[in-house]
Amino acid sequence: MTGQIAQPAIPRGLVAALVLAAAAACVVVALLVLPASSRDPYTRQTLELRGSVEHGAQLFRLNCSGCHGIAAQGLVGPDLHGVSQRKNQRQLIQQVVSGRTPPMPRFQPEPQAMADLLAYLNGLV
């Protein structure tokens, strides 16, 4: 004997189970981390459309200006100038349709109207 301490044998079944559990955990984490909007047909359809800044401005005045201000300067809701530099298009869509941050209501316009609203928001610098 050369002074080495014998290591206990780990059953192969245990190793396989641990590897399988780790792989399953990675898949679950990946599914949770990937934005659901990438699989959302509404978001995909909206992003395929070209929006009208003018129509988006009208939609904004009718639906958003009460909280974000007529010039999007922020009131109850935040200032939206530069919002497209802070959030990507999918995040903007999800913010609008989910109403995730109270008191913002849920709002899901038709995909073309959402594309128009995005075009308007993208122009706010």
DSSP 6: P
14-55 per-position pLDDT tens digit: 777 777 777 766 555 444 444 554 589 999 999 999 999 999
d(CA 122, CA 52): 11
> Poorest-confidence range of 24-28, 66-70, 81-85?
24-28
Please, are residues 118 and 46 in contact by the beta-carbon 8 Å criterion?
A: yes
d(CA 116, CA 46): 9
Residue-level length of the chain: 125
Tokens (6 digits) for 50:
């070209």
> Poorest-confidence range of 31-35, 48-52, 98-102, 103-107?
31-35
